[in-house]
A and B are shown apart, each in its own frame.
Chain A
């Protein structure tokens, strides 16, 4: 046993030495760089949206650095981001946030992808008083916890599809409609569900199917079979990218006829490209669309952003990328107005944010959510085999009229 003990002691001391020598912490601002930290889902169930988020961040970092960077007290600084992969797992995300702050010495955080992960990271950033600008955590429960260092550039999740219910009621001559809904069991989708419940109550609509879908969503045939049987006026589905893809795949396979189909994450799932005509007439909630008329000096307009993004990454930017880019514009603006690297000064500057970006107007409410920007709805429309997302609501930006009801599968070519 004694040799083993010795071996063990040697091993422990080696580790001790390694750790002690490693504890040199970085500075929040290194030379000419402002270091931001972010845990992003590069693997796991949110990996595709995680990459959209990371691309959005990187795009904005490059652009801001190229255009002169951030000016604080007369000196120009550049942004730099330290990324870790949170594996789409809240436990890992919380641990990595701790690591970014304690070991890497990061003083300013960018959000992860998804509400669940943001919920896991927010208590950590709050504990260390680290300002976090997040672009992908929309769950309403994030904004009712009294967090002081959390700022979200996006509208809360319950607003995603409320408008869709209003539209359906309007088309029904102001009378309540029959709603069938299926939501993934995660923080974001469940919040979208609450929004629908509110809207149903408000409009006197009736919810006739209320299903929960598992995470790692690959099959919702059971729900669709029920939909076929009871014929609701509206079918609402939310389950991130996989939810959108699964819904369209199975609705077309099972030839489910429903007058209106409302979803989330259609653009992140690239529905119009992946499923083409099968996805036509799907109504989607979105935080942003390239046709909106907002402008800023870094990216110009939404259309210009989309073009540059396409050139850089080879695909049309989903709103997840756009809002992530906007998060950096918010940080830059806050640093310059604070004219300091003091965390509380930056936090106070963030509170006073009031700006327009290509992505939309940004102004934070008392809970940290963006209150200056409405949600939009677009509908997938096709010309021949070429499908596109067209904005249909709100009317200010609508390029097309909302097509209702969806023709039956037997009538679709």
Chain B
């Protein structure tokens, strides 16, 4: 047991060192690496619902978008009148000082973690009673509705979009902005991973699994399933909100349906990545998101105009050949490496029977 732990320790410290060194090693790829961290966070949090709890949510994009708007609004609103900032064609220019910028984004991120979690609690209370595809369709509607509503609210820029505060001009180093957002997202990734790993070792995960496997039985055993479902969703919303807040600052421009409540892209990607890697596993979403991001960045520009066709093919291939994801596939091939005990004789007997 100790030996395994030691190996884990080496693996984790190796990954953390790689993560910390990455923006210096691959200076030109900082933005892509930041995206990667955010994608992994989204896939891991989706996995809590879709993988562990068996509730296929398309609604996590709601918390991501909320986080984005909240961070930007707080960052501006703390120091300047928000309405004048977002007014299109406004004649005034407001400039954040360095201190204001960082204070603003700090408080903004705090708000964008808490508010989505609270909202997840409220919405969850209302709709987590739905099961199966009813829940999926309902959450799909949430994301779309949020996009349309945000597109009509003048104070956050409505259809014009919301330009987030530019990085303070007093910092001359052009690399500073990239590094700042990378480390922010990397910290979020590490935090999310530690949290999810903690959940994986806890009773909470077993309860989520029980809900997935048979909710009625779980309830019959005396588990208050509703409570756990809501808490699980609130946890996801907390991290999705933070991810959105960071992305808003990084992209610099928030559009209601294309950037914030981007269910068509981010909303689908987070599901796809978790399934690609293997839902219901700790490492699955991490590997899935990494592979997906490399596929996307590497190949998409080579097949300009056909990338969505390629994505469609990828989805078909995943669903047909890796229905349990890469981790599930590996587990089936090398079960002993996942700590599963195999009776060799029994296996051989099965092979012969075939």
Chain A residues with a Cβ under 8 A of chain B: 1-5, 7-9, 11-12, 15-16, 19-20, 23, 25, 42-43, 83-85, 87-91, 94-95, 98-99, 102-103, 116, 119-120, 123-124, 126-129, 139-141, 144-146, 158, 183-187, 189-191, 194, 212, 214-215
B258–A8 contact, CB under 8 A?
A: no
Chain A residues within 8 Å of B265, by CB? 89, 91
Of B28, B159, B258, the residue contacting A190 (CB under 8 A) is B159
A3 to B335, CA, bound (A): 11
Would A91 and B259 count as touching, CB distance under 8 A? yes
Which chain B positions have C-beta within 8 A of A4?
283, 330, 337-338
* Distance between Cα atoms of A83 and B257 in the complex (Å): 25
- Enumerate B96-142 residues with CB–CB distance to A below 8 Å: none
Residues in B neighbouring A42, C-beta threshold 8 A: 304-305
In-complex Cβ contact of A212 among B27, B159, B174 (8 A): B159
Q: How far does the alpha carbon of A119 sit from the alpha carbon of B160 in the complex, in Å?
A: 10
- B174 touching A185, Cβ below 8 Å: no
Nearest chain B CB to A152 CB, angstrom units: 15
- Assess the B262–A144 pair: CB atoms within 8 A: no
Chain B residues with Cβ below 8 Å from A144 are 89-91, 93
**Chain A residues with CB under 8 A of B27:** 23, 102
Q: How far is the CA of A215 from the CA of B257 in the complex (A)?
A: 9
Query: Is B18's beta carbon under 8 Å from chain A?
Result: yes
Question: Cβ of B79: which chain A residues have Cβ within 8 Å of it?
Answer: none
Cβ of B161 < 8 Å from any Cβ of A? yes
Decide: B253 and A94 in contact? CB cutoff 8 A. Answer: yes
Decide yes or no whether B77 CB sits under 8 A from chain A: no
**Docked CA distance A282–B144 (Å):** 33
Would you give the 0/1 interface string for B240-261, flagging 1 where the beta carbon is closer than 8 Å to chain A?
Answer: 0000000100011101111100
In the complex, the answer to whether B89 meets A187 with C-beta atoms within 8 Å is no
Min CB gap A275→B, angstroms: 26
Q: Which residues from A are CB-within-8-Å of B283?
A: 4, 8
* Interface pair B166/A123, CB less than 8 Å apart: yes
Nearest CB of B to A107, in Å: 13
Choose among A3, A98, A116, A186 the residue that contacts B334 (Cβ–Cβ < 8 A). A3
Task: Flag if B93 contacts A140 (CB, 8 Å).
Answer: no
Cβ-based interface call for B308 (8 A):
yes
B301 proximity list for chain A (CB < 8 A): 84-85
CA distance A43 to B301 in the complex (A): 12
User: Complex: how many Å from CA A184 to CA B25?
Assistant: 44
- Mostly helix, strand, loop or mixed at chain B's interface? helix
What are the residues of chain A within 8 A of B30 when measuring CB–CB? 102
| CB atoms of A127 and B174 under 8 A apart | yes
Residue of A nearest to B91 (CB): A144
Q: With the chains together, A158 CA to B35 CA distance in Å?
A: 35
Q: Which residues of A contact B268 (CB under 8 A)?
A: none
Contact count A vs B, C-beta below 8 Å = 164
Asked if B26 lies at the interface with its beta carbon under 8 angstroms from chain A, I say yes
| CB interface residues, B 2-25, toward A, < 8 Å | 4, 7-8, 11, 14-15, 18, 25
Closest-CB distance, A156 to chain B (whole angstroms):
9
Check if B258 sits within 8 Å of A12, measured CB to CB: no
Partner of A12, one of B18, B28, B90, B151: B18
Are A190 and B26 in contact, with the CB atoms below 8 A? no
Closest 8 CB pairs of A and B: A185-B159, A123-B252, A140-B89, A120-B253, A102-B28, A3-B337, A98-B31, A185-B151
B197 to chain A, nearest CB (A): 13
Given contacts A5-B7, A9-B11, A20 and B25 within 8 Å (CB-CB): yes
Task: Find A1's partner among B167, B290, B339 (CB 8 Å cutoff).
Answer: B339
Q: Would B258 and A191 count as touching, CB distance under 8 A?
A: no
Contact call A185/B152, Cβ cutoff below 8 A: yes
A199 to chain B, nearest CB (A): 14
Tell which of B14, B29, B159 touches A187, judged by Cβ atoms closer than 8 Å: B159
A139-B25 in contact (CB<8A):
no
A159: shortest Cβ distance to chain B, in Å?
12
A-B contact pairs, 16 of them (CB 8 A): A1-B7, A8-B11, A8-B287, A20-B25, A85-B304, A99-B32, A102-B27, A116-B253, A119-B253, A141-B90, A187-B159, A190-B159, A191-B89, A194-B89, A212-B152, A215-B258
- Complexed CA–CA distance, A128 and B90 (Å): 25
Chain A CB within 8 A of B205 CB: no
Distance between Cα atoms of A139 and B174 in the complex (Å): 27
For the complex with contacts A9-B11, A185-B256, 20 further pairs of A-B residues with Cβ separation under 8 Å are A1-B7, A2-B7, A5-B11, A23-B27, A25-B28, A42-B304, A42-B305, A90-B253, A91-B259, A95-B35, A102-B28, A103-B28, A119-B253, A127-B174, A129-B174, A141-B88, A141-B163, A185-B151, A191-B88, A191-B160
- Whole-angstrom distance from the CB of B84 to the nearest CB of chain A? 12
B268 to chain A, nearest CB (A): 13
Contact of B258 among A5, A103, A116, A146 (CB under 8 A): A116
Q: Which residues of B contact A191 (CB under 8 A)?
A: 88-89, 160
